[in-house]
Copies of this chain bind each other. A is one copy, B any other.
Amino acid sequence: MTVRVAVAGASGYAGGELLRLLVQHPRVEIGALTAGSNAGQRLGALQPALRPLADRVLEPTTAEVLAGHDAVFLALPHGRSAELAGLLDDRTVIVDCGADFRLVDAAAWQRWYDTPHAGTWPYGLPELPGARERLRGARRIAVPGCYPTAVTLALAPAYAAGLVEPEAVVVAATGTSGAGKALKPHLLGSEVMGSMSPYGVGGVHRHTPEMAQNLSAAAGRPVSVSFTPTLAPMSRGILATSSAKALPGLTPDRLRETYEKAYADEPFVDLLPPGQWPSTAAVHGSNSVLLQVAHDPDAGRAVVVSAVDNLTKGTAGGAVQSMNLALGLPEELGLPTIGVAP
């Protein structure tokens, strides 16, 4: 059995990564590929790395084109997904890589996006308690943001185990593909190479409420997140440093055991051996998440560093993982756990 899959937004970075994985997925047949202003172009001109699909021509992103597939991936600007979703029936699994259906709290959505809340879909982070069950057979899936993937997996176990105070501090570096293919001056190679810079400082990045939502759920009480994203001179990868004040009783051993236990059976989350640290290179193109934990007794904090590929586990790989669950396929199918390094 193969499943027929469409990708809306196939000319962007998330769309390209979806296709890289889907072409190599043993149970997937590639259906419609759509784009906005790039409709009508050969995919080979826009995604030169996708050799096997070079001669495919992009269609416009309409419900007609997307209808009739077993699954449709939406890699579209925020706001487009809600619109399209209403036009596709439930025989098609919709996996939305955008933000539209991630937040549970309509007021939070309204505050951060300043548009009406479209609703909430099952959240595509199978590693969270209960999530895997909700994703099995789901017809609608909200893929997590790239930063929230890296940060939630880093801190949720500590919050679930009651080890740390409900005030997280997160500083993360992302590769430039996280900002998409938009033609903005600060994303030019000349500006980016040899330079680190922050953006969205002071808690204004829209991934902040998503992280807070996840960590609050893990903690069973409200958790605030001080989040500073930075742009690093690399194409891919997120390295997140997440920390929180230790509650009494936290020891290095208890911290480590908590994470060992939390991820013992997870195929895509690896707590590294003591002394080894995550790097984004080690997950380049891979669906793995690498973690390391430390207890800083002087500062009284637990520190967790996580590395993900923002396009793979952070977007397209996470999306395919959820699609596998929704369609009853083995969860790990078509998802590499080996990074392309060096």
Please give the residue numbers on chain A whose beta carbons come within 8 Å of chain B beta carbons, in ascending order.
13, 16, 20, 23-24, 42, 44-45, 47-52, 54, 167, 169, 171, 173, 175-177, 179, 181, 183-185, 187-199, 201-203, 208, 224-228, 230, 232-237, 239, 241, 243, 245, 270, 272-273, 276-286, 288, 290, 292, 294-301, 303, 305, 307, 336-342
Task: Give the residue name and chain of the B residue nearest to A180 (CB).
Answer: B190
Flag if B203 contacts A51 (CB, 8 Å): no
Flag if B194 contacts A281 (CB, 8 Å): yes
B residues near A179, Cβ cutoff 8 Å: 190
Flag if B183 contacts A184 (CB, 8 Å): yes
Flag if B169 contacts A169 (CB, 8 Å): yes
Q: A51-B288, A305-B228 are in contact. Are A342 and B278 (CB under 8 A)?
A: no
B residues near A294, Cβ cutoff 8 Å: 201-203
Partner among B228, B230, B280, B298 whose Cβ is within 8 Å of the Cβ of A203: B298
Within the complex, what minimum Cβ distance (angstroms) separates A68 from chain B? 26
Q: How many copies does the complex hold?
A: 4
Flag if A279 contacts B196 (CB, 8 Å): yes
Task: Give the residue name and chain of the B residue nearest to A337 (CB).
Answer: B51
B residues near A336, Cβ cutoff 8 Å: 24
Give Cα A225–Cα B193 distance, bound, in whole angstroms: 30
Flag if B49 contacts A235 (CB, 8 Å): no
Partner among B270, B307, B342 whose Cβ is within 8 Å of the Cβ of A235: B342
User: Which 10 interchain pairs have the tightest Cβ spacing?
Assistant: A202-B294, A189-B192, A49-B339, A195-B281, A226-B299, A203-B296, A171-B171, A197-B279, A196-B239, A49-B341
Flag if B202 contacts A281 (CB, 8 Å): no
Flag if B49 contacts A338 (CB, 8 Å): yes
Partner among B193, B286, B288 whose Cβ is within 8 Å of the Cβ of A234: B193
Flag if A303 contacts B201 (CB, 8 Å): yes
Q: A198-B277, A201-B292, A228-B305 are in contact. Are A16 and B341 (CB under 8 A)?
A: yes
Give Cα A45–Cα B197 distance, bound, in whole angstroms: 14
Give Cα A112–Cα B171 distance, bound, in whole angstroms: 26
Q: A48-B279, A198-B277, A276-B45 are in contact. Are A233 and B193 (CB under 8 A)?
A: yes
Give Cα A201–Cα B245 distance, bound, in whole angstroms: 15
Within the complex, what minimum Cβ distance (angstroms) separates A3 from chain B? 19
Task: Give the residue name and chain of the B residue nearest to A304 (CB).
Answer: B201
Flag if A191 contacts B285 (CB, 8 Å): no
Flag if B230 contacts A243 (CB, 8 Å): no
Partner among B24, B183, B202, B278 whose Cβ is within 8 Å of the Cβ of A295: B202
Partner among B176, B194, B298 whose Cβ is within 8 Å of the Cβ of A237: B194
B residues near A189, Cβ cutoff 8 Å: 176, 187-189, 191-193, 233, 235
B residues near A192, Cβ cutoff 8 Å: 189, 193
B residues near A281, Cβ cutoff 8 Å: 48-49, 191, 194-195, 197, 235
B residues near A290, Cβ cutoff 8 Å: 48
Q: Which of A50, A233, A272, A301 has the most CB of B within 10 A?
A: A233
Q: Which of A51, A226, A341 has the most CB of B within 10 A?
A: A341
Flag if A191 contacts B295 (CB, 8 Å): no
Flag if A285 contacts B340 (CB, 8 Å): yes
Q: A169-B243, A342-B236 are in contact. Are A270 and B51 (CB under 8 A)?
A: yes
